[in-house]
Amino acid sequence: MAPNKLPVTLNAIRDAGSRIAGVAIRSPLLRLDAPGAPTEVWVKLECLQPIGSFKVRGATNAMALADPALLARGVYTGSAGNMAQGVALAARRRGVPCRVIVPETAPSTKLDAIARLGATAVPLPFDEWWAVLRDHGHPAEDGHFIHPVSDPAVIAGNGTVGLEIADELSGVRAVVVPYGGGGLSCGIAAALREVAPGVPVYGAEVETAAPFAAALAAGRPVEVQHRASFVDGIGSTGVLQEMWPLASSLLAGSVVASIEEVCAAIRVLGAGAHVVAEGAAGAAVAAALGGLPGVEDGPVVAVVSGGNIDPQVFRTIMQGRIPRPRRRARQTIGCTVRDKPDR
C-alpha cells in the first residue's frame, strides 16, 4: 500500500477551498483574553466546524477528488475520532458506506458521533491501529482508503486554515498547530509559505507522546513511548516516514506541553472564551501561552483544532483536576462497533 506523493501547491489549497465551501465554515479567529501571556494570542476556532473539528476540510476535499468507481465499494479510514467523523459526514452526503478503524481507547464522545453519522467503527489495539496509518490501509478491509494525514488532498483541505489566518489577521508572528501526524500543521505551513512567507509554524505536542520533537532531535523519525492520556487527538509512537521530509522542511520546531499545561490551557479557553476544546487543541494553546522560541511581540495564532472532548473529562479539567486515562471496553453503548477484522 504505497503512500501518495505529498507536495501540496498553493493552487491545490485554493481549489480545495472552493470544493469545501458550503460544508466547512470559515471558522472564527478571536483574540484570547489571557493575562500574563508573553504575547498577544489569537485562537482559530476549528472546534466550531460542523463535526467539531478541522478534519471536515481535508475529508471533504479528499472525497470530492476520489474516483467514483472506487467509492462505489465504500470508503474507510483510520482515526482516533475526528477524521472518522469527517469521512463519515462526506460519505453520508454521497450515500457511500463508511467504516472507521479506531484505537480501542477512542473516547465515547467520538464513537457516538461516528455512529450518528452512520459509519461503522472497527476497534483495534493502539499499535495495530497505528499500523493502518503507517501501512496506508488494512489488508482485511475493502473499499477506498482515505489516509487521515498524508493524503495530498487531505493536506490541501487542511491548508485552507492557513489561507484564512493570513487573510484575516495582519502581522502574524507565528502559528502553532497540534501535531498528530502532521497533516494539519504541514497544510497550514504550505499555505503560509506562499501567502505569508517568514511566518513560522510550530507543531504542538504533549509529553505523553512527542514523536516530532524526538525526530527533530535525532534528525530522523525514531520510535518513542506512547502513554495513554485524555489527549487522544495527537501523540503516537513515531513520525510517519512519508511525512518526515515535509514536516522537517516546513515546520519551525516542536513545542511539547505537559498534561498540566494542556489542562490549564483548556481552562483558559473554557472560562475566558467560553470555548470547549479537546486535548490536542489545548496543547496548541498551551504552547502559545507558554511562549514560542524567538517570538516576543505581535500576534501568535493557536489553532484550536477540535472540541470533541468527553463531557466528564472536560468537567474534571474545569474543576481544576487532571483526568486519568481509562481503558475502554470494546463494546460501547450508543456506537455501532464491528469485531476486529480477520487478517
What does 41-104 look like in DSSP terms, one character per residue? EEEEEGGGSTTSBTHHHHHHHHHHHS-HHHHTT-EEEE-SSHHHHHHHHHHHHHT--EEEEEET
Q: Domain spanning 10-53+151-318 has what CATH number?
A: 3.40.50.1100
Residue pair 59/86 in contact by the 8 Å Cβ criterion: yes
Q: Provide the pLDDT for residue 207.
A: 94
DSSP string, 247-301: HHHH--EEEEEPHHHHHHHHHHHHHHH-----HHHHHHHHHHHH--TT--SS-EE
Q: Do domains 10-53+151-318 and 56-145 have the same CATH topology?
A: yes
Using CA atoms, how far apart are residues 153 and 145, in angstroms rounded to an integer?
A: 13
Answer yes or no: are the C-beta atoms of 232 and 267 closer than 8 Å.
no
Cβ–Cβ under 8 Å, residues 43 and 175: no
Q: What is the pLDDT of residue 79?
A: 87
Question: Can you tell me the distance from the alpha carbon of 115 to that of 338, in angstroms, rounded to the nearest whole number?
Answer: 11
Q: Residue 72: count other Cβ atoms within 10 Å of its Cβ.
A: 12
What's residue 196's pLDDT? 96
Distance (Å, whole) CA 101 – CA 121: 6
Pairing relationship of beta strands 253-257 and 300-304 according to DSSP bridges: unpaired
The CATH fold of domain 56-145: Rossmann fold (3.40.50)
Dump pLDDT digits (tens) for 306-318: 999 989 999 999 9
- Per-residue pLDDT, 140: 86
Domain ranges, ordered by start, for the chain: 10-53+151-318, 56-145
CA distance 296 to 274: 27
Strand 144-145 versus strand 120-124 pairing type? unpaired
**CA–CA dist 299, 40 (Å, integer):** 5
The stretches of 66-210 forming alpha helices (DSSP H) are 68-71, 82-94, 108-116, 126-135, 152-168, 183-195
Classify strands 98-103 and 120-124 as parallel, antiparallel or unpaired.
parallel
Q: What is the pLDDT of residue 27?
A: 97
Task: Provide the greatest CA pair distance for the chain.
Answer: 55
Residue 32: half-sphere exposure toward Cβ, Cα within 13 Å: 31
pTM of the predicted model as reported, rounded to 2 decimal places: 0.90
The DSSP secondary-structure symbol of 25 reads: -
Phi, psi of 262 (to 5 degrees): -65, -45
Contact 141, 101 (CB under 8 A): yes
Mean pLDDT by 10 residues, the chain (343 residues): 64 97 96 90 97 95 93 90 91 93 83 90 89 90 91 96 97 96 96 96 95 96 89 88 94 96 97 94 96 88 95 95 65 32 36
Among residues 201, 169, 144, 227, which one has the least CA distance to residue 32?
Answer: 169
Q: For residue 142, what pLDDT is reported?
A: 85
pLDDT tens profile 256-310:
999 999 999 999 999 989 999 999 999 999 999 999 988 888 899 999 999 999 8
CA angle 330, 241, 290 (to 5 degrees): 80
Distances (CA, A) of 296 to 288, 289, 299: 11, 12, 9
